[in-house]
Amino acid sequence: MSNSNHASRARQTRPAHDLARSPSTRWRGVAFGALVVAVLGIGVVLATGDLLGQRGTPTTANAIPVRMSMAGFEPQVITVKAGQTVAIDFWTTDAAPHLQGGVHTFISDELGIREELPAESRRTFTFTAPAKPGDYDVYCDTCCGGKESPTMHGIIRVEA
Ligand SMILES: [Cu+2]
């Protein structure tokens, strides 16, 4: 008799215990699932972005890869030789709505360069480096504050 009483009490307490415990367990499961989805999502976005940006291949040998983004030019310092014909392999993963006229720009007033780069694309252009060594300014004027924003400036470093 007392045995069956014990058993029934145990049977009654276990469901109560499960009820008290399962919500937090379920929440932990949901939180973990959300974390996994978020991490995978970020990975996919990064991988896709890089694939989009690297679509196509440079048409000019020895072109210098320069990535343009909301963070500016990458690399920020582009080193070239005086008098050299420089090929820039210019690319971006940014989407058109973030860019004025749907393009990033590569502008150097001092060197007379003005090139456009459509959203999510890659193109190669060339210019002739000046004979005079020094640092020359380059900027993008079609996003993130343009010429007024220090972030949108890079340097073309001309070495002798
Ligand atoms: Cu830009």
| pLDDT tens column, 33-70 | 665 556 555 555 445 444 444 555 556 778 999 999 99
Give the position of tokens 């709505």: 97
pLDDT of residue 111: 97
Average pLDDT over residues 8-20: 51
CA distances from 8 to 90, 100, 112, 122 (A): 75, 74, 90, 73
Average pLDDT over residues 17-30: 60
Residue 107 CA, ligand 1 centroid: distance in Å = 10
pLDDT of residue 25: 65
Residue 16 has pLDDT above 60, yes or no: no
Residue 67 CA, ligand 1 centroid: distance in Å = 10
pLDDT tens per residue, range 75-103: 999 999 999 999 999 999 999 999 999 99
Residue 32 CA, ligand 1 centroid: distance in Å = 37
Confirm if 124 and 86 have CB atoms less than 8 A apart: no
Angle at 117 between CA 112 and CA 120, to 5 degrees: 165
- Looking at domain 64-159, what is its CATH homologous superfamily? Cupredoxins -  blue copper proteins (2.60.40.420)
pLDDT of residue 61: 77
Q: How many CA atoms lie within 13 A of 3 on its CB side?
A: 0
Q: Six-digit token pair at 96?
A: 């058109």
Residue 119 CA, ligand 1 centroid: distance in Å = 10
Residue 110 CA, ligand 1 centroid: distance in Å = 19
State whether residue 144 is helix, strand or coil: coil
Residue 113 has pLDDT above 60, yes or no: yes
Residue 141 CA, ligand 1 centroid: distance in Å = 6
Residue 75 CA, ligand 1 centroid: distance in Å = 14
pTM: 0.65
